[in-house]
Amino acid sequence: MEIIFLGTSEATPTAEKNQTAILLKYNNENILVDCGEGTQRQFKIAKLNPCKLTRILITHWHGDHVLGLPGLLQTLALNNYSKILHIYGPKGTKYFLTLLLKTFAFISREKLKLEIHEILKKETILETKDFKIEAYPMKHFAPCLAYSFIEKDRYKINIEYLKIHGIKEGPWLKELQKGKDIAVNGKKILASKATTLKKGKKITFIFDTLLNENCVKAAENADLLIAEATFFDKEHADLAKERRHLTAKQAATIAKKAKAKELILTHISQRYSKKEQLLLEEAKKIFKNTKLANDFMKILL
């Protein structure tokens, strides 16, 4: 699993930071979380192929999180994107995407094969044999969601143990990988002996919201929490509340209460472009394992 930060600024980009966009790569999935202005150019700079995208998760329909969609969809259409692109978002997503497709007539919905999923409440929005994605309503000026990508636990086969018992490869290995005991050639093989449980990873994305109980629920036991830290609490706590954003202190508090393992701060206001360390220091006082995101930063899990 790999996380690539394609944009880490807040509403106004800077020379160093593009608007919000994060790519999660997992097996054959390439999942884009938000698509700020200029995201497709960030793909080019990072030497990533946007035609490998499988899903887009929209947290909310404010410009700095979606203005890159028209250009990205145009690029996919012009490059004969052949997969079904699944786009998930909060209330209003179907309406806004319909307007976007009508406004930019060069984007053919039929050609692109879009499937639009509108999420109205806390729910599991996708589940496969390997992972699931959960959505949690947030509190912002527009309907807004946090997302958690949750890899399922899996059992790794102990090859040496099977060799000792003379068990060769076969369809029974699938049962072991499900944690089930098997019988082969009259021998009972216990999954507890023949496999090792590998815990799945959890990554949570929380952007643009007032502090609320769903923040902690979404991030519970996350291996990685990626959260906005738009404001420095010591100086701008009131402004953060007025604009319905999190401070670095609040992001760290969420990570601590949720028992997350690591926190990465992103979506930081341009007013701190020369003093981002202040936000990092503020967060680290509450949650030590905190880092600042930068454009093109990569995390391997």
Radius of gyration of the chain (CA): 21
Q: Judge whether 195 and 155 are in contact, CB under 8 Å.
A: yes
Integer distance in angstroms from the first to the last C-alpha of the chain?
5
Active-site positions read 64
- What gap in Å lies between CA 36 and CA 224, rounded to an integer? 22
Distances (CA, A) of 30 to 49, 75, 101, 112, 241: 10, 16, 22, 16, 34
Q: What's the burial of 157, exposed, middle or buried (CB within 10 Å: 0-12/13-18/19+)?
A: middle
Distance CA 262, CA 215 (A): 15
Distances (CA, A) of 182 to 171, 177, 189: 11, 11, 5
User: Contact at 8 Å (CB) between 11 and 141?
Assistant: no
